[in-house]
Amino acid sequence: MNSSTERSAPVVNRDELIDRMMGSIPMAERMLKRFVDTANADFDLMESTVRLGDKPAIASLAHRHKGTAQTMAIPRVAQCAAELEQRAHTDPTSKLLAILGEMRMLHDEVRQVQQLGLANLI
Amino acid sequence: MNKQASPIQILVVDDDPIAAETLSHALSQFGYSSTIALNGMDALQYVRSGKYRIVISDVEMPEMNGIDLCREIRRRGSCGYTYVILLTGRSDTASVVKGLDAGADDYIAKPFSPSEMQMRIRAGERILMLESRDLMIFALAKLADSRDHDTGSHLDRIREYCRLLSLELATWPEYQNKIDGIYIQSIYETSPLHDIGKVGIPDRILLKPGRLTEAEFSIMTQHAKIGGDTLQAVAEAHPEAVFLQMAYEIAMTHHERWDGAGYPNGLAGEDIPLCGRIVAIADVYDALTSHRVYKPAYNHQKAVDIISEGSGTHFDPNLVRAFLKLESDFKEIKKSMNDTPEKEDSEFMPMFRCKDVPAATAQTPQSV
Ligand SMILES: [Fe+2]
């Protein structure tokens, strides 16, 4: 779903994020921490709805996560969430779980960025 | 970045707390204070408080989505206008169309760009300011008018007549360079101020049921100059506010006559600003068809005849032509916005003399 060049780009678009936070690095870091702290619970909820086959709920949760990831300038996560939202009604559980798996991996990258601090991100 | 505090309170509605808080933070940096509602139902409660003039809402939310929220805000109405901006996905044209149809004023693509958002909010502020300005002008005009008109619809009709005449003239080639949309909106907003100078006329003259003496009449005519001078001072202090110039011209010249026999300056023909000539005809038609302490209401046809006879003497002949073309619309406005039903058979009194027109020039009765 992602090209190799996109994969090599930083998971968080630092400039875009800081611009959206009106130039405030502390604000950007605070919101990024909040994203990291809540994302796991979001993924767990999405995973259980996938396993339960609640398609409208999958689409709705994925949509919201897409919005959050866009706000936080994390395009690859937003793209995965968009795919999950789009495929929620059509694709088999295994495919949806695979997308979720990819999102969790990207999320680990986000957590690393957050722990490192935005000031240290080039 | 504009950090000057704005008095406008903004309501941010988003079920995503991170997006809501980010938006709220950006708003605070632009000088706006905001409140977050995480769902449509909470948002409606906040809107009902009347505190929020701008609402920025996400579209996709559980329970009540942004489009339904917008529809509810419009359905319930409130004392002032609520400017609604929807946050939509970049390619979500369907939501945009639905949102605008539900009464949204604008939309911003998600994720928002702070500078774009600031510009959109400024556009909203301009709309809200125009609305406040119009309400304030009309409230002041009504306050002044309430002294000699017991009921409130006189000014509502005047501005409708003025708009009607201006819309008609705008289709005539000779007026196409003079009358545009801004002109029509301005005359609609400022024509109710035509008699604002009456605040300076003593009650014993303004409310006198019978004939005015020459001395009283002379004081009465001062209302045009009082209103004109006051508005001229404001217009000169704010040259950027074009509508103030029109307000001044209307107050000063709505009693001038095409033949130069009017007041306060005895201007004639096209020396009288067009807006003054338009208000003159609207004001006289309304005065003729309305009951006054000194006269009964005449029926529509009588008023049409009197105005028609005044072509080239009292009134600009072009405006009389426009009026005659639109006379059934005038009748309709008078009928639909009439708070004192007139008797269809009310008769013209031959000895009638209007308070602010001297006998020598009183071929056409005028309003005061
Ligand atoms: Fe007047």
Tens-place pLDDT, residues B144-200: 887 777 656 889 999 999 999 999 999 999 998 899 888 998 999 999 999 999 988
Q: Is the peptide bond before B296 cis (omega within 30 degrees of 0)?
A: no
Bigger pLDDT: A105 vs B141: A105
Q: What is the DSSP string of B20-50?
A: HHHHHHHHHHTT-EEEEESSHHHHHHHHHTT
Per-residue pLDDT at A74: 96
Per-residue pLDDT at B62: 81
Percentage with pLDDT > 90 across chain A: 81
Distance from CA of B15 to the nearest CA of A (A): 8
Chain B residue with Cα closest to A36: B18
Would you tell me the crossing angle of helices A75-87 and A55-71 to the nearest 10 degrees? 160
Q: Taking residues B105-121, report their average pLDDT.
A: 91
Per-residue pLDDT at B130: 81
Q: Do A19 and B26 touch (CB under 8 A)?
A: no
Interface predicted TM-score (ipTM) of this complex, two decimals: 0.86
Q: Number of H helices and number of E strands within chain B? A: 13, 5
Q: Taking residues B8-20, report their average pLDDT.
A: 93
If pLDDT is split at 50, 70 and 90, which confidence band does B271 have? very high
Q: Do A31 and B21 touch (CB under 8 A)?
A: yes
Q: Do A72 and B18 touch (CB under 8 A)?
A: yes
Per-residue pLDDT at B294: 67
Per-residue pLDDT at B133: 78
Residue B297: half-sphere exposure toward Cβ, Cα within 13 Å: 17
User: What mean pLDDT, rounded, does chain A reach?
Assistant: 89
**Domain range annotation of chain B:** 9-129, 147-337
Tell me if residue B306 falls in helix, strand or coil.
helix
Q: Which residue has the tokens 């939310």?
A: B61
Bigger pLDDT: B210 vs B121: B121
- Record the tokens describing residue B250, joined without a space: 């209307």
Per-residue pLDDT at A2: 46
Of B16, B18, B29, the CB nearest to A22: B29
Residue B353 has pLDDT above 80, yes or no: no
| Whole-prediction pTM | 0.62
Per-residue pLDDT at A7: 53
Q: Which residue has the tokens 């196409």?
A: B176
The arrangement of secondary structure in B147-337, i.e. its CATH architecture, is Orthogonal Bundle (1.10)
Assess B198–A contact: CB distance below 8 Å, yes or no: no
Per-residue pLDDT at B3: 55
Angle at B312 between CA B307 and CA B317, to 5 degrees: 75
User: What mean pLDDT, rounded, does chain B reach?
Assistant: 85
Neighbours of B39 (CB within 10 A): 17
**Tens digits of residue pLDDT in B285-335:** 999 998 876 678 899 999 999 999 999 999 999 999 999 999 999 999 998
If pLDDT is split at 50, 70 and 90, which confidence band does B350 have? very low
Residue B278: half-sphere exposure toward Cβ, Cα within 13 Å: 31
Per-residue pLDDT at B356: 38
Residue A5 has pLDDT above 80, yes or no: no
Per-residue pLDDT at A24: 93
CA B254 to ligand 1 center in whole angstroms: 7
Q: Do B110 and A70 touch (CB under 8 A)?
A: yes
Q: What is the DSSP string of A47-91?
A: HHHHHHT-HHHHHHHHHHHHHHHHHTT-HHHHHHHHHHHHHTTTS
Per-residue pLDDT at B76: 77
Strands B54-58 and B9-13: parallel
The arrangement of secondary structure in B9-129, i.e. its CATH architecture, is 3-Layer(aba) Sandwich (3.40)
**Tens digits of residue pLDDT in A45-77:** 999 999 999 999 999 999 999 999 999 999 999
- Record the tokens describing residue B16, joined without a space: 């995503």
Q: Do B25 and A34 touch (CB under 8 A)?
A: no
Per-residue pLDDT at B367: 45
Bigger pLDDT: B142 vs B344: B142
Assess B15–A contact: CB distance below 8 Å, yes or no: yes
**Residues 6 or more apart in contact with residue A76 via CB below 8 angstroms:** A2, A6, A7, A11, A106
* Most trustworthy range by pLDDT among A99-113, B49-63, B70-84, B140-154: A99-113
* Topology at the third CATH level for domain A24-120: Four Helix Bundle (Hemerythrin (Met), subunit A) (1.20.120)
Residue B83 has pLDDT above 70, yes or no: yes
